[in-house]
Amino acid sequence: MTGAERLVAACRSRPVDASPVWFMRQSGGSLPAYQRLRANHTVLDIVHRPALAAEVALEAQRALGTDGAVLFADIMLPVSAMGIELELPSSGPRIERPIRTADDIDRLRPVDVAADLGFVLEAVRLVRRGAGDAAAVIGLAGGPFTVAAYCIEGGPSRDQLTARRFALAQPQAWARLMDHITDVTCSYVQAQVVAGAQVVQLFDSWAGILSPSDYAAWAAPWSRRILRAIRSSGVPAIHFVAQGATLLERLAVDADVVSIDAAQPFGTARERLGAVAVQGNLDPARIGASHEVASGAVDELLIANAGRPGHVVNTGHAVPADTPTSRLADLVAMVHDRTAMALPAQTGANA
């Protein structure tokens, strides 16, 4: 199987010749060509220049040997296209004038994805061309709760209190903001698929702060629309929420794969998710620690999965930028090696 086939098949819980591997935020980090680029360009610069963004994604895929090539983009690009001014320091997006009133929402611009976010679509096309069959192109979009919360908080926050107070105090304005973000995101993910994305991950990093009932009221209806848009365009949808243990079953609705964080025991999560495919759970702290600790963590994960189909190997959160490239490459090879198995149609070919 090619890397692209392997990743897509595992997302669909179909048989694979080995478990596919990729790492959240694998594109960039300590890779030499990326570091050279960063000497002269901001992250936003690179993101806006398709040739550079594609090169970052392709460099990472080639250096690590992952089964996915991850689009180098930021989840806040669609709201930037709505007219929200954005900076991208390493601590996370910063918005100078966050949304605070219903009027702020009414002032958001409509977005023409092809025109306003064409640079992302062009990057997707270039990554697809460059990756060939070696890896599936992984498109991405921010979860609507996380994007809306960012717009209201203006920057990273531990509890999204300002956003949650906004949702409570102005439920209609909240729904309008979520509708707008969701409409744009649906077009955006579908355009990414048309441009060549073979899998799309929805990053709803902050939704784990919500209780199951708040999640159902303030996030799920919109997230599900986006997940359905991804699937109806013909590719599998991966759903990621950090610290999402209390929401697990809800995250699985309309998703092909649920990405679980490093704080939940893998076995329990697998059981709760039933037939839905699982990704993640590797602890980025362990991946960065040493070869022994990292490969021990991978071993433990593979043992916990016990060969069940529908398994995408990944970290539970973004890999830190200082993780050695050789470490990640070794882990990819290790996973492919340990999980290699004969497919029914090609007896013994990869065993």
In the complex, the residues that contact a second copy under the rule CB under 8 A are 156, 158-159, 161, 164-165, 168-169, 208-214, 243, 245-246, 262-265, 283-286, 288-290, 293, 317, 320
Element (H, E) at 37: helix 32-40
Query: Is the dihedral angle over the CA atoms 200, 267, 303, 276 positive or is it negative?
Result: negative
Nearer to a second copy, 211 or 326 (CB): 211
Minimum CB separation of residue 101 from a second copy in Å reads 16
Q: Which residue number, 136 or 278, has a Cβ lying nearer to a second copy?
A: 278
DSSP class of 108: P
Minimum gap (Å) between residue 165 Cβ and a second copy = 5
Which pair of structure tokens corresponds to residue 271?
Answer: 């059981």
**Is the Cβ of residue 293 or residue 329 nearer to a second copy in the bound state?**
293
Residue in the block written with tokens 């998703």? 255
Give the CA radius of gyration of the chain.
19
**Closest among 232, 230, 252 to 241, alpha carbons compared:** 252
42 or 211, CB closer to a second copy?
A: 211
Q: Which is nearer to a second copy, 19 or 281 (CB)?
A: 281
Residue 92: CB minimum distance to a second copy, A = 9
From the CB of residue 172, how many other CB atoms can be counted at a distance below 10 Å? 9
Q: Closest separation between CB of residue 251 and a second copy, Å?
A: 14
DSSP 8-state code for residue 157:
-
DSSP 317: S
Q: Residue 260's beta-bridge partner residues? A: 280
Nearer to a second copy by Cβ, of 285 and 343: the residue is 285
- Beta strands (DSSP E) in the chain are 68-70, 136-142, 199-203, 237-240, 257-260, 277-280, 311-312
User: Residue type at 127?
Assistant: V
CB of 288 to a second copy, least distance (A): 6
| Comparison of 191 and 287: residue with beta carbon closer to a second copy | 287
Cα distance between residue 231 and residue 217, in whole Å: 23
The strand pair at 68-70 and 136-142 is best described as parallel
Question: What residues contact 130, with CB distance under 8 A and at least 6 apart?
Answer: 54, 58, 69
Taking the least distance from each CB to a second copy, the nearer of 201 and 264 is 264
As a whole number of angstroms, the distance between CA 248 and CA 212 comes to 9
Query: Could you tell me the smallest distance in angstroms from the CB atom of residue 72 to a second copy?
Result: 22
CB of 328 to a second copy, least distance (A): 16
What would the two tokens of residue 58 be? Answer: 């392709």
Residues 6+ positions from 327 with CB-CB distance below 8 Å? 287, 288, 291, 294
* Least spacing, CB of residue 8 vs a second copy, in Å: 29
Give SS3 for 235: coil
Q: State in angstroms the smallest separation of the CB of 151 from a second copy.
A: 17
Looking at the Cβ atoms of 164 and 239, the one nearer to a second copy is 164
